[in-house]
Chain A
Amino acid sequence: MGRYLIPLGIFIVLVGFLAVGLNLNPREVPSPLIGKPAPAFSLPVLEESGKSIARDELRGKVWLLNVWASWCVSCRAEHPVLVELANRKAVPIYGLNYKEVRGDGSLDARQMAPADELALARSRASQWLNERGNPYVASLLDLDGRVGIDYGVYGVPETFLIDKNGVIRYKHIGPVTPDAVRNVILPKVKELNAAS
C-alpha cells in the first residue's frame, strides 16, 4: 500500500503551501530601501516645461513620492484618495510619472525620437491629470524608468514616505486606500514632522 500513498503525500504538502499562500500577498514585495537614503534623481517636471527638480531640493521637509502613470488602471482607483489627501495639506505629494510611454505595452517607444517621446508623455499625463484633478506639487517624468529602478519600483502605483533627512521611512504597495491614509500615512507624517 505504501507506494499508493505517494500521490496523497505530495498532495498534502501542496495543500500546506497553498494554505500558507492564502495568507501571503503576491503583490507585496518588501523593500530593502526602508531606513536608507532615497536614491538621487534630477528629472524634468511635467507641469512646467524646461524645469527640473532634484532630490536634494526636497531636503528639510517630509514628503510623499507617488509612482503613477496614465496607463495604470489601479492609479485611477487611487487617484481620488490622493486628491483628498492633497486637499488636507498635511503632506506635500510629488508624483513620479513612471514610464508614461514605455510602460504602455501597445507601442514600442524605443523606436521613437526622444523629443517625440517627451512630448507624447507630457500630453498623455497632463490630459489624465486635467480630467481627474492634480494632487501633486509637481510630477517628475521618469521616461526610461531609471529612477523607478533605483527606487525598486515593482508595480505601479507605489508610494514612498521620505523624511526631512531624505531617508525612506515607509513604502505602500498598490493603490493607497483611505484606510492606509488614516491609519498609517498620516500618523507617520505626524511623527516624522515632530522629530527634528
Chain B
Amino acid sequence: MIPELGSFSLALALALALVQGILPIAGAARNDARLMGVARPAAHGQFVFVMIAFACQIYGFVANDFSILNVATNSNSALPLQYRVAASWGSHEGSLLLWALMLNGWTVAVTVFSRHLPEEVAARVVGVMGLIGVGFLAFMLITSNPFDRLLPAVADGRDLNPLLQDPGMVFHPPMLYMGYVGFSVAFAFSIAALLGGQLDAAWARWSRPWTTVAWVSLTLGICLGSYWAYYELGWGGWWFWDPVENASFMPWLIGTALMHSLAVTEKRGTFKSWTVLLAIFAFSFSLLGTFLVRSGVLTSVHAFATDPRRGVFILGLLVLVIGGSLLLFAWRAPKVGLGGSFGLVSRESALLTNNALLSVAAASVMLGTLYPLFLDALNLGKISVGPPYFDAVFVPLMTPVVFLMAIAPFSRWKGDSLPALARRLRWAFGVALVSALLLPLTTGKWTPMVALGLFLALWVFVTSAQHLFQRLRGKADEGTVLSRLRAIPGGWWGMWLAHVGIGVTVIGITLVKGYEQNLDVKMATGDTAHLAGYTFEFKGVTERKGPNFVAASALIDVTRDGKPVATMKPEKRMYTVQQMPMTEGAIDPGFTRDLYVSMGEPLPGTEAWIVRIFYKPFVGWIWWGAIFMGVGGLIAAADRRYRRLAERAAARRPAVDAAAVPAVAR
C-alpha cells in the first residue's frame, strides 16, 4: 500500500510540475497576473508530493519491505538503520528521487526568497524549474520507478554494496546533488532573463547568492567524496580522474567561472552573454554527468546498473533542455548588447582570462572523459584515458589560473597600468619565489613540481596577507583594527577565504605528490617496520563480529623516537551477504602528515599478514582547503547587501513596474 501511495504521489507531482512549467511562463508572456500566480502554489504542491514519495521510499527501506524491487536489491535486514536510510539513494531509482526532491527544495527556496523580484521574473524562474521537474519525474515514472514491486517478495535483500556502507554515503550524495541541482536556479534565472529580454545588473545580483550556495554545496560534496575514497578504498588515493568524478568536477569548474563572471556582470555590466552561456553550461554539465553515469556509455567504478532505454530517455532530455536553451541563447543573446569597455590590463581582463582558462579546463576534462567514446564511435579503436593525460593537461592550465587569481583583487576595474601593478606586488612575488625555491631543499629532495606548487601556494598566501593589510591600512582613521575588520563586507571576506583555501589545497596536493612514502611488509605478532622516522609494531590480530560482517582487526602501535604516537586498528572485513571482502584502513591524522595503515592478506600457513603503511605529508590540507572555500562561499552568499537590496526593492515594488527595479552597480 505504501509503495503505491509513493507512485501515486509521484504522478500527482508530475501533473503539478506540468502546471508549474506551463501556466506561469504563459502568464508572463501575456502579462496575466492570475496565471503567474499559479507558480508558487504549484511549486509548493509539487514539493509536498515529492516529499511524500520520498518518505514512502525511506519507509520501505526502514521497514525492510522486500516486496519493493529497489529495497530488495539494495538493502538487507541486518543492515544498520542509518545505512538503510542511505541505501534509499544508493540505487539509480532512489538517487533520481533524491534529485527530484533537491530540485523541489531549491524551487521552494526560490519562491520564499523571491518576493522582492518582479512578478514575471519569479514566474519564469519557477516555471523553468517546473519544466526541469517534468523531465525528471517523467524519467522516473517511465523508466525507473523506485516503487516497482517484486512479487513474490524475497525473504531478505541483497544488501547494500559494502563500499557504500559508510557515513560518507549518508552525507556525500545529498551534498553533491544539492550542488548539481542548485545550478538549476542560476540556469532558470538565465532562461528567464533570455525570455524576458532583460539581462542587467539586477539579474546578475539575483543570481549571485544562488550560484554561490550551489557552488558551496558542490565544493563540499566533492570534498566529502574525495575524503571518503581516501579512507574507504584502502589504498590512500584521493582523486582518480574517474568519469564520475569528472562529471562532478566539470560543473564545479564552470560554476567557479560563473560566480566570477556574475560578479563582473553585476558590477560593470559587461560579459553579459558570456555569463548567460556559463549559467547554461554549468547546469548542462550537471545533466551530462547524470547521463554519463546512468546510460552505460562509459565504464566507471561508480556506474549504476545500466539500461539502454534510460540512456535514450536522458539523451532526449539533454537535447530538449540544453539544445533548447542554446537555441534560445542564439536567438536572444545578440540583442543583449555589450557592456562597458575595459583595458587590456584591468580586473575585467584578469577575470576574463581566468574564466576562459577554467572553461578550457572543463572542456579538456570533458575531452579526456569522452575521448574513448569518440574514438569508438568513429571506429578508430578502443582506448582508455588515465591520470597521466589529466595531470599533463591540468597543471599547465591551473598554474596561470592560480597566479592571476592572486593578482585580480589588486588590479583596478576598467584599466590599470602594468608597471604600477608590478610595483605593488614585487615584494610578494620575491618572497614567494625565493621561499618556494629554497624550502624543498630542506627536505633533501628538490623537484620542479614541488617548487612550482609551493610557489603558487605561497604567492596566494602572501598576496592575500598583503591585500588584507592594505584594506585595513587604507581606512586607518576609522576606529580600532577589530572594528575595521568587522566593517569589511562579507563578499570580500568570502573571496579572501576561498582564495586562501585554494592555496591550502595546492599545498596539500603538492606535498603529498612530492613526498609521499609507502611500504608493504609481511608482519607477524611482534614484528616492527620503519617508515619516515616512525616505528610500527604489530601487536596481533583479533576477530570481531559486526552487524553484517566479520572482521580481522589488527592492533599496531606507532612510536617515534621511543615516544608513543598512536594506536592504529586497521581491519579486513568480510561482508557476509555479498561475500565481499573490504579493507578498512586506519588513519592517524595530523596537521603536517597522515599515517595510514591497511591490511592486505593473511599469508597461508602462517600468522603473518601483508600490511601496507603510508606516510602522507600534508594530505589533510587538500580537504581543509575545500572547507575554507566552502565557508568563504557561505560568508559571501550571506553578505548583507543582498538582503538590503532585497528589502529596498520590496519596499518600492508596489509602486513601480519591473523596468524600474534598481540596476545600480556598486
- Interface set of A (CB-CB < 8 Å, partner B): 1, 4-5, 7-8, 11-12, 14-15, 17-24, 26-27, 29-30, 73, 76, 101, 104-108, 111-112, 116, 119-120, 122-124, 131
Contact = CB atoms under 8 A, between A and B. Distances in A.
Interface in B111-133: none
A15 to B, nearest CB: 6
Interface in B4-37: none
A11 B287 CA distance: 13
A19 B313 CA distance: 11
A4 B579 contact: no
Contacts of A122: 604
Contacts of B377: 17, 20-21, 24
B604 A120 contact: yes
A24 B330 contact: no
A8 B323 contact: yes
A107 B291 contact: no
A111 B330 contact: no
Nearest to B336: A4
A15 B323 contact: yes
Contacts of B333: 4
Contacts, number: 107
Contacts of A123: 604
Nearest to B298: A26
Interface in B361-383: 370, 372-374, 376-377, 382
Nearest to B234: A106
B299 A120 contact: no
A142 to B, nearest CB: 18
A11 B311 contact: no
B320 to A, nearest CB: 11
Contact of A22 (B273, B315, B522): B315
Interface stretch (B595-603, B618-626, B638-646): B595-603
Contacts of B141: none
Interface size for chain B: under 10, 10 to 19, 20 to 34, or 35 or more residues?
Answer: 35 or more
B601 A107 contact: yes
Contact of B382 (A18, A29, A76): A29
Contacts of B138: none
Given A7-B326, A22-B312, A106 B600 contact: yes
A17 B235 contact: no
6 contacts: A8-B323, A21-B298, A22-B296, A22-B297, A108-B520, A119-B603
Max chain B CB contacts within 10 Å: which of A4, A73, A111?
A4
A190 to B, nearest CB: 31
B603 A120 contact: yes
Contacts of A105: 235
Interface in B238-258: none
Given A17-B370, A107-B601, A24 B315 contact: no
A107 B315 contact: no
Given A4-B273, A17-B370, A112-B522, A22 B600 contact: no
A22 B299 CA distance: 12
B315 A4 contact: no
B318 A15 contact: yes
Contact of B373 (A5, A21, A111): A21
Contacts of A116: 522, 603
Contacts of B485: none
A106 B315 contact: no
B327 interface: yes
Contact of B600 (A4, A18, A107): A107
Q: Is the interface of A mostly helix, strand, loop or mixed?
A: helix
What 3 A-B pairs have minimum CB-CB distances, sorted nearest first?
A107-B600, A123-B604, A21-B297
Among B291, B323, B372, B601, max chain A CB count under 10 A is at B601
Contacts of A18: 291, 295, 297, 315, 318, 373
B319 A8 contact: no
B458 to A, nearest CB: 35
B612 interface: yes
B373 A8 contact: no
B322 interface: yes
A17 B374 contact: yes
A97 to B, nearest CB: 16
A5 to B, nearest CB: 5
B532 to A, nearest CB: 18
B334 interface: yes
B250 to A, nearest CB: 13
B610 interface: yes
A104 B603 CA distance: 14
B520 A26 contact: no
B323 A11 contact: yes
Contacts of B598: 106
Contacts of B331: 1
Interface string B301-314: 00000001001100
Contact of A26 (B312, B334, B372, B583): B372
Contact of B327 (A8, A27, A104): A8
A108 B612 contact: yes
A15 B382 CA distance: 20
B474 interface: no
B7 to A, nearest CB: 27
A22 B377 CA distance: 10
A175 to B, nearest CB: 14
B152 interface: no
A26 B376 contact: yes
A148 to B, nearest CB: 17
B461 to A, nearest CB: 37
Contacts of B521: 111
B369 to A, nearest CB: 12
Contacts of A11: 284, 322-323, 326
Contacts of A12: 323
Nearest to A16: B377
